[in-house]
Amino acid sequence: MGLKPLPLFKEIYETYIKNNKTKKHKTPSTKECRKKLFPSKNWINKFPQIAKAHLSQSAIKKDMKRTIEKMNHFGNYSA
């Protein structure tokens, strides 16, 4: 992940976490975050079928590899 999302993360932290004295916004659990951020478990089977009309085989493999790496980087994936 590059530097582009850092301002967004800062804004989210300052808005919803740092000054969350009223508990108006509940911070989601790691499991909830994974479920919302990552594709479903059957994505790995569905994505190549759907994407083949729009992407080359090498682009599909590259995108799948990157997505899986990001999921693994975030932690053990369990949807």
Domain presence at residue 12: no
Domain presence at residue 68: yes
Domain presence at residue 46: yes
- Rounded to whole angstroms, the Cα distance separating 9 from 46 reads 30
Parent domain of 60: 39-74
- The pLDDT tens digits for 21-72 are 656 667 778 888 888 888 888 988 999 999 999 999 999 999 999 988 888 8
Residue type, 55: L
Residue 36: other Cβ atoms inside 10 A? 9
Domain presence at residue 21: no
Q: Tell me the whole-structure pTM to 2 decimals.
A: 0.56
Domain presence at residue 60: yes
Reduced to 3 states, what is the DSSP secondary structure of residue 61?
A: helix
- Rounded to whole angstroms, the Cα distance separating 27 from 70 reads 21
